[in-house]
A = this chain, B = another copy of it.
Amino acid sequence: MGSLTEENYIKSIYSLSGETGEVSFTDLARKLEVKLPTVNSMVKKLAVKKMIVYAPYKGVKLTEKGKKEALSIIRKHRLAELFLVKVMGLGWEEVHDIAEQLEHVNSARFYDRMDELLNFPKADPHGEPIPDTDGKLPAKKRIALSEVAEGKTVKIIAVSVDEKPFLDLLNIKRIHIGDTITIQKREPFDGSLAILKSGHEIILSQQVTERLFVE
């Protein structure tokens, strides 16, 4: 395991990886809130440790070893979030920041015990899948709410960000994981949706519907 900083780089690279797995230095710098040269030197260091592959002026990409490390951190983060909600009774909007700290705790016992107490859960409070000890991720097929056609009825299964402002908004709008909703109308001008949840109409902006996953 690397330093706290290294762990954060690995995690950020993982979360920014799209189809190709390539991540740009600029995106990384923005995500980590550091300047470009900082990313540059750190990336070189991670390349020496075989966590990433990298060629000058090309993007950066996790190796298998790097991916495994990322998934181990994500596992700890998501277990911690679920534990904080289910066992400790905290709200889903307030657990992210605590989990950001707990994910760096080095103790297999601590996390295995959490896993046991939670009865080997498949997903965190935001619907995100929890990798197993070997870094395997339960597959999932999910669609953004923004992609669903008018008239359809769907179930909300996940959110794609777990930052407090977003979750606070969902709480206010009374949207939760597991809710079943019907798409009533899509406003062509701004892409906002009018949805129906147990008889009540709720208006959600496109920024919100892009971050809600349904099935």
Contacts and interface: CB of A to CB of B under 8 A. Distances in A.
A117 B87 CA distance: 10
B109 A101 contact: no
Contacts of A88: 110, 113-114, 117
A41 interface: no
A137 interface: no
A98 interface: yes
Nearest to A91: B109
Number of copies: 2
Nearest to A114: B88
A106 interface: yes
Give the interface size class of chain A: 10 to 19
A89 interface: yes
Contact of A109 (B87, B94, B102): B94
A176 B66 CA distance: 44
A50 to B, nearest CB: 26
A101 B106 contact: yes
22 contacts: A84-B110, A88-B110, A88-B113, A88-B114, A88-B117, A89-B113, A89-B117, A90-B109, A90-B110, A90-B113, A94-B109, A97-B107, A98-B105, A98-B107, A98-B109, A98-B110, A101-B104, A101-B105, A101-B106, A101-B107, A102-B102, A102-B105
